[in-house]
Chains A and B, each alone.
Chain A
Amino acid sequence: MSADAPKRVAFIAHCLLNQNAKVEGGAKRPGMWEPVIELLRERGYTIRQMPCPELAFGGARRFWGVREQFDTPIYRRHCRRLAKLVAAVIAQHAAAGDDVVLIGIDSSPMMGIDFTPSAPHWSGKPDIVEDDSTLVRGDGIFVEELKAELAERGLPEPRSTGIRHWFADYDPDEELERLGALLR
Chain B
Amino acid sequence: MLIKKPVDIPYSEVTPKALYIRRREFIQAAAAGAIGGAVGLSPLAVERLTAQGRAKLPNVRKSPLSTSETANSYEDATGYNNFYEFGTDKEDPKANAQRFNPKPWTIKVEGLVKNPATIDLDTLIKPYALEERIYRMRCVEGWSMVIPWVGFPLADLIKRLEPQESAKFVEFTTLLDPSRMPGQRYPVLQWPYLEGLRMDEAMNPLTLMVVGLYGETLPNQNGAPIRLVIPWKYGFKGIKSIVRMRFTDKQPRGSWEVAQAREYGFYANVNPNVDHPRWSQATERRLGEFRRRKTEMFNGYGAQVASLYAGMDLRKFY
* Same complex origin of A and B: no
